[in-house]
Amino acid sequence: MKNYLSLVKFSHTIFALPFAMLGLFLGFFASGTLRIDWMLFLKVLACMVFARSAAMAFNRYVDRDIDKINPRTQKREIPSGIITARRALLFVVLNAALFIATTYFINPICFWLSPIALLVVLGYSYTKRFTFLCHLILGLGLSLAPIGAYLAVTGYFSWLPVLYSLSVLCWVAGFDIIYALQDEGFDKEKDLYSIPARFGAKKSLIISSILHIICALLIIVAGIIGKNQMPALNSLHWIGAAIFIALLIYQHTLVGPGKLDKVNMAFFTTNGVASMLFSIFFISDLFL
């Protein structure tokens, strides 16, 4: 179990999960009550875990030959032989099946859209082979969390969770570009596509900054629109938004061309804390 949790980097679930909870509680509010349906809460949580586990394991499976020759990734579970490629693929199939099965017990729209969601999150694994926009595809995969959770409660689309989904897309794409700086030279050598490999470190950091500026603007716009729809949103929401934006800015002070020793801190710690705090402040504002 420890090896499989490591395979899918289970601790990284913290990136999208808080925004899924945000979408879930937006849905509870939109349905006219803040009574928490704990069974639905568990189903959405299960969907997050199953979909992300399938996506990460599939990414490791597809990239196993690349990981084997990349010094940074040679110790991952499949290249090192801790988990065989066949067992990793079986793990993907199991989690994908559990994801679809769980959506069946949520509502029809989530069930019928579940294969499309899987197509996006699994399809990302191939994008580095043909487009430098792979970071945006990764962002798209994680951006399904808020709108998916909202659909689980309401069964219909709404602009507010879509705005938060778009902010997640830009946020994730921006910090994934920072993370990809570690493999700039390797990607160029092996003809793999990424924004750092295409534009170099300096321009990549500018692109990442632009995406994070758009993310911040989307969160502000969503907050203004949300205030009109939900008068309950007050100071706590804006405090959470301010902290989130401040941490976006902070991570860009940690890295630079030739300054990659703090990439993991910028990638995991800063973004994990940012998403968790924003979600906590947002949901607390709805209740308090």
pLDDT digits (tens, 9 = 90+) for 44-59: 999 999 999 999 999 9
d(Cα 45, Cα 226) in Å, to the nearest integer? 24
pLDDT exceeds 70 at position 12: no
- The pLDDT assigned to 34 comes to 67
pLDDT digits (tens, 9 = 90+) for 62-96: 999 999 999 988 988 899 999 999 999 999 999 99
- Which residues, 6 or more positions from 138, have their beta carbon under 8 angstroms from its beta carbon? 124, 172, 173, 176
d(Cα 105, Cα 209) in Å, to the nearest integer? 40
pTM for the whole thing? 0.93
d(Cα 35, Cα 241) in Å, to the nearest integer? 25
**CA-CA distances (angstroms) from residue 29 to 33, 47, 197, 284?**
5, 21, 44, 12
The pLDDT confidence band at residue 220, using thresholds 50, 70 and 90, is: very high
* Domain architecture of the chain: domains with CATH: 2-287 (1.10.357.140)
pLDDT digits (tens, 9 = 90+) for 236-249: 889 999 999 999 99
Contact 176, 139 (CB under 8 A): yes
The pLDDT confidence band at residue 235, using thresholds 50, 70 and 90, is: confident
- The pLDDT assigned to 2 comes to 78
pLDDT digits (tens, 9 = 90+) for 183-219: 999 999 999 999 999 999 999 999 999 999 999 999 9
